[in-house]
């Protein structure tokens, strides 16, 4: 038996939903990667999805700041002697 899906649009959030075998509504966001949620009613599922979207956005912002800070803290060690480019031995030929 195939499940019947329906799309719910709540502001900027689009959810693909269906009623699962346990009777709960299950939602997957079409816009926010990784957002899956469920609820006893459609309204509860939408509210859970809004909360999950906010939590994911906050978590991703924190992770981005931590990643940038870690990248800035990395130092690349080079030899003490500067490396100079050797002059080219090619000659320019005038046409």
| Residue 1 binned pLDDT confidence (cut-offs 50, 70, 90) | very low
pLDDT digits (tens, 9 = 90+) for 64-81: 888 887 777 765 555 556
**Could you report the per-residue pLDDT of 25-59, keeping only the tens digit for each?**
999 999 999 999 999 999 999 999 999 999 999 99
Name the residue ranges covered by the structural domains of the chain. Answer: 6-73
Query: What is d(CA 79, CA 34) in angstroms, rounded to the nearest whole number?
Result: 44
DSSP per-residue letters across the chain: -PPPPEEEEETTEEEEEEE-TTS-EEEEESSSTT-EEEESSHHHHHHHHHHHHHHHHHHHHHHHHHHHHHHHH------SSPP-PPPP-------
């Amino acid at each position: 038996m195939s499940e019947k899906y329906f799309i719910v649009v709540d502001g900027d959030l689009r959810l693909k939903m269906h009623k699962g075998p346990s009777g709960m509504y299950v939602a997957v966001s079409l816009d926010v990667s990784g957002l899956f949620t469920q609820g006893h009613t459609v309204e509860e599922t939408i509210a859970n999805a809004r909360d999950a979207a906010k939590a994911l956005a906050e978590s991703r912002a924190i992770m981005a700041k931590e990643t940038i800070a870690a990248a800035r803290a990395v130092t690349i060690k080079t030899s003490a002697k500067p490396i100079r480019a050797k002059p080219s031995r090619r000659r320019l030929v005038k046409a």
